[in-house]
Amino acid sequence: MRLVKLLANLGYGSRKEMQLAIRNGWVTDKAGNALKVDSRVDHEDLLFDDEPLDPAQGVVLLMNKPLGYTCSTKDQGRLVYDLLPDRFRMRKPVLSTIGRLDKETSGALLFTDDGTFLHKVISPKSNVPKIYDVVLDRPLKGDEAGIFASGEMMLESEEKPLKPALLDIVDETHARLTLHEGRYHQVRRMFASVGNHVNELKRSAIGGLGLDCVEEGSWQVLSDARKAQIFN
């Protein structure tokens, strides 16, 4: 791919702006040599304004999403994209979230510009579990685990029962719930169906991928080994 197109696709600016940046010597190799429009340099050896280039196409990011942020590029208020560099919104292909977390849910959120990888994660065939830590308004009654695991639980206004879900009780108002599907506000609606209310909700893991070393509001680029943990 030509250097100008590569930089534009990474969101650094328009092709015209990138031509100007190259002419001004802002794009160099690691040795500090200014490049030309037709230069051929490996992605990892490129610098823009003395900084390494953003990850190439096929990137997967893991964010520890804080409360109060919406998984959208256009809604009003604070958006998860506000926590990323501005140019990430301009990447081509688009950097999309893999699934969503509502405004009042925190925790593990994936982004990618790799459509094949996105569909692999959300495909029912992959059966990737999502694990949620839940703080409840009232003490658990004791029968919730059996109800959630039955495969017969119905949510209001739906006609298909939920897949079996695993509930691990931490104490009377704290639990960990593992789901293999992602219906609208599913965790909150499940507990509402058994007469309780979710006060706090955090997604702590996607498959075998947890939030190790990712502080709230921050993100990291996943290595191949970390991506593989999703499917473990």
CA dihedral 221, 213, 136, 102 (to 10 degrees): -20
Assigned token pair, 141 = 């009654």
End-to-end CA distance of the chain: 34
Where helices occur in 127-215 by DSSP H, the ranges are 144-149, 186-193
Between vectors from CA 64 to CA 59 and to CA 67, what angle results, nearest 5°? Answer: 135
Which residues are catalytically annotated?
102
Q: Residue 36 CB: number of other CB atoms within 10 A?
A: 10
DSSP state of 180: S
**HSE on the CB side for 165, CA within 13 Å?**
27
| DSSP assignments along 54-118, one per residue | PPPTT-EEEEEEPTT-BS-SSSSS-BGGGGS-GGGGG-SS--EEES---TT-EEEEEEES-HHHH
Assigned token pair, 21 = 């940046």
The 3-state DSSP class for residue 186 equals helix
